[in-house]
Amino acid sequence: MSCWTVLGITPTKNIDKIKEAYSNLSNSKNCNNHNIDFKTLKSAYNKALSLAKVSISDLNLSLLGSSNYDILSAVINSSMDSKSIDTIEKFIIKVDEIYTNPLLRFKLEPWINLLTSAILETSSSIDSLNIELIKYLNSHKYLPNKVYQLLNSKFKWTSNKIKLKTKLSSELVDSLINCIENPLPLTYNYLDGINSEKLDEYLELREKAYLSLQNNNLDPEKKCLFAAYSIYTKDLDLVKIIGTYYLNRNDNLMALNYFREAININSNDLYSLSKFGHLLTINNQYSSAISYLERYIKLLRNSIDIEAIIDLAHAYHYSYELQKAKDLYDLLLILRPWDLSIRFELESIKNKISADDSSDNLTIPVYKKYINSYIDPFNYKLKEIYKNFSLRVNEESWKELLSLPIASNEALFYLFEQQTIKFITTNKNIPKNIYDFLNNYFRWTSRHNELLSIYPSLRIDVLFNKLYFNESLSYDSLKNIKSDNLEEYIELRSLAYDSVCSDSKNAEKYLNAALNLFNGDFELYKIYGQYCLNNNLYDEAIKYYKLALSFKEDDYYSICSLALLLTKVENYKEALIYLNKSVNTPAGSLLLDNEDFLTKYAISFYYTGNLINAKKYFKKLGKLNSNLKFVNIYLKNINDRLSGKKRSIIPISVIENPESYSLSLSSKTKDKLVNFITKFKHGFVS
């Protein structure tokens, strides 16, 4: 409930009226009659007094777009009560009165006052009034967007577009909505001196001229331009349009005249300053150009205009302010490393600056503060990610880096890219997956030659080495390592890995040194396992691979290594555990097409008594390679045993020497046959 409802009066600036209402209600009897407690009444009284004392200009008009904005909060400062406007006809008359007066039309206060009209308190009249107001605005449309936004906040035109089209033409409604949502960049700030009778004619001509300019339709544009200019010459917007018209036609002298006129109207207009400075530069008026471009750049605080920087650098160069020119071209080379003309200009300036030129009191390069506002948070975030290893190895942390403002600023793209490449190629131990993630964003692998060309001072070779070669060791287990030990540990681990791969005598030294720093890395135990395997220390190798799996139970390399090692030491029962795990990995189907793996899988089933599976995989092995003689030996033995015949278990040596086993078997068979015949001859066979 608003303060005015509590007090029982309409919004007003009349303080005596507010005090009278409060006095009438403040006695306990009246409070009880109106079901108002004293605390609520006092609060409403204080609020009403404060609102009555605030000027219209102090209203926070940004609240107009808010869904919970109470329109009465904006109108209680009205300098007059508008309760006499109690019919639709009176309301439209008042609208016309405001619209036809240039001193009222373009200001917000008269429109705010209008919205206190009594007619707006009658819900039955709102729809009809709304329709009449829209019809009026269709033929009287030249209003500032802030007025359209105010009216829309009251009448909800944009949210009721479909409903409005049932009562008005679609064209009319769309035109209104377009005025609200897509206003032209034309202001109404310089029209105080115009003849009110010519105002709408002028605004219509100005709008047509602007739209023609946007569509490159030069003939109608010129006609409208100068028809408007003949009516009124002091409108900054029109003068800028004329200047742009001549600029587009490459009539630089006429463009200069009109942009000079625009600056005379508003000496701080950014568009006019930039175009005027540019025109002076291309007309070789370098000294004059500098003052306008410097003013433009000083005023341009929240964006960057590279073309203006180029103009200013060029003007400095040919005004012999060489150090200033060099500072700017150094900056431009960062922002546009691909621009050969910038490199050429910079080299020319460097050749002109003598070795003994003083570099004291040099000016800070233009836009340095602006650029630092982007680059400083970026560098801070980079260091934060790198310092915390759990962040360094996490792609989500690097995604946050890409959400910083510098990443979305197109003008700073090359600066952003250079800083990124420089950091990741000069700081060690950034995981390969982070390089791949950044490559997906910057598309480095498709820009190899370009990067070499535009960034000659960066370590592009290091970047592409990381991108093209697979990383041998992961960083998954290093999130809990002490930060003081991290870099040294990773260095020792890498040395240990390289030493084991090259069978160096220093391998054990590096392994032990790394283990003394950190004992929670499965990658280190895998290196230990490989070291022991290289030295035929199978039991030790098995121990270390099991340690690796205790930290990362799904590590594929450790699982496969254990499977093969356990068959090596003829621990087939345990070997089957890891062989089955290997088969159940994503690469399992490939393993079953590998001769060595299939051999170990089949014999593990055989020597643990699982003859059915042993037969299955020996048959698969035979199909894979029909030249393996031991396969048929095993299959015959398995088939005989499955059919109930007593057969001895085949020794594992048959795999390496199947011929020897076959000869031994033949010899035993021959001896049995001779023995049988001898017994038969002597009548010992029953």
More confident of the two residues 34 and 461: 461
pTM beyond cutoff 0.75: no
Percent of the chain topping pLDDT 70: 86
pLDDT grade for 239, boundaries at 50, 70 and 90: very high
Assign residue 15 a region: left if phi > 0, alpha if psi is -120 to 50, beta otherwise? alpha
pLDDT tops 60 at residue 356: no
CA distances from 311 to 216, 304, 335, 364, 660 (A): 25, 13, 15, 17, 91
CA distances from 53 to 48, 76, 110, 116, 409 (A): 9, 10, 18, 17, 44
| CA gap 622, 599 in Å, rounded | 10
**What DSSP string describes 539-605?**
HHHHHHHHHHHHH-TT-HHHHHHHHHHHHHTT-HHHHHHHHHHHHTSTTHHHHTT-HHHHHHHHHHH
Among 37-51, 70-84, 208-222, 658-672, where is mean pLDDT lowest? Answer: 70-84
More confident of the two residues 366 and 291: 291
Q: What is the pLDDT of residue 362?
A: 47
Q: What is the mean pLDDT of the chain?
A: 85
Among 206-220, 339-353, 420-434, where is mean pLDDT lowest? Answer: 206-220
pLDDT tops 60 at residue 529: yes
pLDDT grade for 57, boundaries at 50, 70 and 90: very low
Residue 336's CB is within 10 A of a number of other CB atoms, namely 20
Q: What is the pLDDT of residue 103?
A: 85
Could you tell me where the beta strands, DSSP code E, fall in 426-529?
Answer: none
| CA gap 112, 631 in Å, rounded | 97
- What is the rounded average pLDDT of the residues 335-350? 92
Tens of pLDDT along 484-496?
Answer: 888 899 899 989 9
CA distances from 215 to 156, 203, 211, 212, 546 (A): 32, 18, 6, 5, 74
Q: What is the pLDDT of residue 658?
A: 79
Among 3-17, 294-308, 336-350, where is mean pLDDT lowest? Answer: 3-17
Positive or negative, the CA dihedral 548, 550, 552, 556 is positive
Among 29-38, 232-241, 533-542, 676-685, where is mean pLDDT lowest? Answer: 676-685
| CA gap 314, 342 in Å, rounded | 10
Of 485, 560, 502, the C-alpha closest to 526 is: 560
